[in-house]
Amino acid sequence: MDQKVAATEQPRYIKLNACDNVAIVVNDFGLPAGSRFACGLTLAAFVPQGHKTALVDIAEGAPILRYGEIIGHAASRIGAGEWVDEARIRMPDAPSLDALEIATAVPPQLPPLEGYTFEGFRNPDGSVGTRNILGISTSVQCVAGTLDYALKRIRAELLPRYPNVDDVVALTHAYGCGVAITAPEAIVPIRTLQNLALNPNFGGEVMVVGLGCEKLSPDRLLPEGVSEGIVRMQDEAFEGFGAIVDAIVAMADARLAVLDRRRRETCPAGDLVIGLQCGGSDAFSGVTANPAVGFAADLLVRAGATVMFSEVTEVRDAIQLLTRRAVNEDVGRALVREMAWYDAYLARGGADRSANTTPGNKKGGLANIVEKSLGSIVKSGSSPIAGVLAPGEKARSKGMLFAATPASDFICGTLQLASGMTLQVFTTGRGTPYGLAAAPVIKVATRSELARRWKDLIDFDAGRIATGDMTIEEAGWDLFRLILDVASGRTKPWSDRWGLFNALTLFNPAPVT
């Protein structure tokens, strides 16, 4: 990275690749026309922070290069020092899925990293949780109000008696009835609910609250071979609401007693299942936070952990870079399969890849989905892509996996939890108070200004990479150590301290009825 860093008031830009003909302005709040960089370039117009300026004259129709990749073509001539805003860039077509190179540039396996551990809750199935939570599954939204009511009693009457249990979480959702449950795509939400119940942070103590007449039969949410653990509200044995609530509380009590006997034990870092996500991205995402996360991801992979990156619509436009990294032909084809599925899903609804970018992304300097994607996939680090998960599938292998999910923060988080994630690292440029009840979330800011302003929401300031206060490598190691601390319960991220949790949100590509 060719970084121009000087005193705070010195105009600074970041150029990422030797081939790039644009660079992004680093200084908080942007730079006025006439600002002169150390290299001699002078701005011809105001350029907001994170937005691009041309480093050289760019002819009409010529490629605009960032990350060494074409993010578009000049809609008209752009002079050196001008603001290369969204309107001046014609977006290229998405890479065709028919002619991708697969497994042609598989990175070498990174050297193993030994000796790093965390304090986790080991489960009977060998998985390890970072939290000791009772997760109560639900088969249908109809029971949500009742479970909320019971939850208040469980929190007030039972939890104080079980000090080793971190929390009780109701896995409520909008699915279960009023849905086309035999439609081809119904497998996605059903699999998600089944696998959510098995998240390692729930310690294998599954219980389900169901209604009785719903389409999604509650027993489908029990693990294979388990037949006990359901409270069905319509059971004729229940005389009224009080009896139903009593039954939920009693079933929770038995499970809490089991969970309370567990203790944290030292586990190798390879037992972690880490999800990576970004939300509210800006042009710094691919420069500061995502490279730091990518570096930490490489450390995790080297330590033998499972790491997932996601968000189909944010990798689709850089898929040619990922299929080359696929560890083998099967994995490469699975990547293509997930991209093709999503292309068709969007087309069916009259949308396309351009639907991804938000006003906030654009305000933050991201011209289009190509530029956003190039910054997004940096999170995946430099290891081979070892596997691909369809939405909500459980991870069963180690290394860097692509977990195919929508980019929607809350849907991606829900699906990564279903895939077995026990801790999430979330990068943000514009800022979001995102959090999950079922797993701790470390929020990484792309800019120091955000980290300062949201000092009680942001857990890690990767903006220090842009200001030159820290290298990517240093940030990556710090983040890796923070992940071990948070996984061990030694450090609480801000979302856990405030109790800020987003709703579980299922991905249901099938119709409702």
Which residue, 46 or 454, is less far from a copy of itself as judged by CB?
A: 454
* Count of residues making up the chain: 513
Q: Using the rule CB under 8 A, is 512 a contact of a copy of itself?
A: yes
Which residue, 213 or 250, is less far from a copy of itself as judged by CB?
A: 213
Three-state DSSP state, 400 = strand
**CA-closest candidate to residue 335, choices 102, 123, 60:** 102
Which residue, 211 or 301, is less far from a copy of itself as judged by CB?
A: 211
| 284, 309, 402, 507: which one binds a copy of itself (CB under 8 A) | 507
| 117, 328, 358, 488: which one binds a copy of itself (CB under 8 A) | 358
**Main-chain phi, psi angles of 96, to 5 degrees:** -65, 145
Which residue, 248 or 400, is less far from a copy of itself as judged by CB?
A: 248
Site for a copy of itself in 407-466 (CB under 8 A): 407-412, 430-435, 453-457
- 438, two tokens: 């079922």
- 331, two tokens: 């994995």
The window from 72-80, 162-170, 331-339, 503-511 that contacts a copy of itself (CB under 8 A) reads: 503-511
- The amino acid present at 64, given as its one-letter code, is I
As measured in angstroms, the least distance from the Cβ of 186 to a copy of itself is: 9
Q: Using the rule CB under 8 A, is 42 a contact of a copy of itself?
A: no
- 461, two tokens: 């300031």
Report the alpha-carbon distance of residue 206 to residue 204 in Å, rounded: 6
Mutual angle of helices 409-418 and 187-196, in 10-degree steps: 60
Residue found by looking up tokens 């014609």 in the block: 90
As measured in angstroms, the least distance from the Cβ of 87 to a copy of itself is: 17
The window from 68-76, 109-117, 331-339, 495-503 that contacts a copy of itself (CB under 8 A) reads: 495-503
Q: Using the rule CB under 8 A, is 364 a contact of a copy of itself?
A: yes
Site for a copy of itself in 192-221 (CB under 8 A): 211-215, 217
**CA-closest candidate to residue 253, choices 390, 340, 159:** 159
Site for a copy of itself in 135-194 (CB under 8 A): 141-146, 148-149, 172, 174, 177-185
- Alpha carbon separation from 44 to 36, 55, 81 (Å, rounded): 10, 11, 5
Starting at the edge strand found earlier in the chain, the sheet holding 117-122 runs 128-129, 117-122, 265-268
Report the alpha-carbon distance of residue 447 to residue 457 in Å, rounded: 14
The window from 124-132, 381-389, 484-492, 499-507 that contacts a copy of itself (CB under 8 A) reads: 499-507
The window from 19-27, 30-38, 52-60, 492-500 that contacts a copy of itself (CB under 8 A) reads: 492-500
As measured in angstroms, the least distance from the Cβ of 366 to a copy of itself is: 11
> Count residues contacting a copy of itself (CB under 8 A)?
83
Q: Using the rule CB under 8 A, is 228 a contact of a copy of itself?
A: no
Handedness of CA 217, 222, 227, 228 (dihedral sign): negative
Q: Using the rule CB under 8 A, is 355 a contact of a copy of itself?
A: yes
Pair type for strands 207-210 and 167-171: unpaired
x/- mask, a copy of itself, residues 393-412, rule CB under 8 A, reads: -------------xxxxxxx
Report the alpha-carbon distance of residue 303 to residue 114 in Å, rounded: 6
Site for a copy of itself in 253-312 (CB under 8 A): 279-280
